[in-house]
Amino acid sequence: MVGTGTVEMDDGERGMLPAAVRPLFGDAGGGGRTLSVELPPGELVWPDPTYARFPARRRPAFWLSEDPAPGALWAQLRAEHPRSGLWPVLLEESVQPWSVGQIAPDAAAEIDNYNVGAFMAEVWDDWVVRAHLEQIETLEPFGPVCPGPADPGVLRTDPDTLADQYAAVLAEQGMPLGLAAVQRGADALVVMGWQGALHHNEWNVPLAAVVRSWEDRFAARLVSMGFNTLELSVAAPPQTPAHAVQVAAEHWAFCPDAIVQGAGTLVDYAEQIVGKYTWSFWWD
């Protein structure tokens, strides 16, 4: 990792992409991107070669703030993302895995190779083959037949404002902030090398494809990641029990533990997410 200190800019540099984060981009120079927000002390994080899928990776995975970040900073950086190309993520458990590089970054382009419906069906079918009858009953009303992705939700509030509000709430826990060089927030899962679902899916790329789809269908925004957790704001959540149970099926394929070790059944879980503006996931 490379320490940067506080990123201060003089009048001639103000608005330019700070030198401290330019190495996150393949062009190394920032490619005309700009950032008017002054960054706090932080450092670039390189993957530990024993964890990285590509040990010879030639650029860092993300930038990490030295201290916990306020929600207001997250919101400022989120607003600048279209110009800076940097997506902010609040990070739980800053020592492990983030600051010690226990990450496996990959190229965001890999996400394009995955179809959400196909991934969901594969997870569903594989589990049904190994499950007992009473376990399959937890997936009612669908049982052994994967229903496929749910219909899009109806926008209920501004997605960015909601994400800023959720970031403010989560930031009260005292989390540092990561910056990833990505075109959309979902891609940070891959570019930053998050491995929180290892016991469910060995590769984070298909999960990032699911989050991309949720960005499109439910106006979701990735706000926070932990060692084995994800926090999303959702501006177009399901509003009826019928729609919610379809979404619950997606959540089960994405993160079975959230249902199996939580509500217990898709129907019970669906009741919890009707009209809910935040989705939380954790993997055991």
Q: What is the pTM of this model?
A: 0.91
| Residues with Cβ within 8 Å of residue 55, at least 6 apart in sequence | 49
What interhelical angle do 241-254 and 205-218 show, nearest 10?
160
Please list, in sequence order, all residues whose beta carbon lies within 8 angstroms of the beta carbon of residue 41, skipping any fewer than 6 positions away: 3, 4, 5, 6, 65, 66, 67
Find all residues with CB under 8 Å of 208, minimum gap 6, and list them.
108, 111, 186, 187, 189, 190
Q: Which of 192, 188, 191, 193 is CA-nearest to residue 211?
A: 188
**pLDDT (tens place) for every residue of the chain, 284 residues total:** 434 444 444 433 456 899 999 999 977 656 789 999 999 999 999 998 887 666 556 789 999 999 999 999 999 999 999 999 999 999 998 778 898 888 989 999 999 999 999 999 999 999 888 877 778 888 999 999 999 999 999 999 999 999 999 999 999 999 999 999 999 999 999 999 999 887 777 678 999 999 999 999 999 999 999 999 999 999 999 999 999 999 999 999 999 988 888 888 999 999 999 999 999 999 98
Could you report how far apart the first and last alpha carbons of the chain are, in Å? Answer: 29
Going from N- to C-terminal start, the domains of the chain cover 2-107+160-195+203-213+223-228, 110-155+231-282
Euclidean distance between CA atoms 205 and 110, whole angstroms: 7
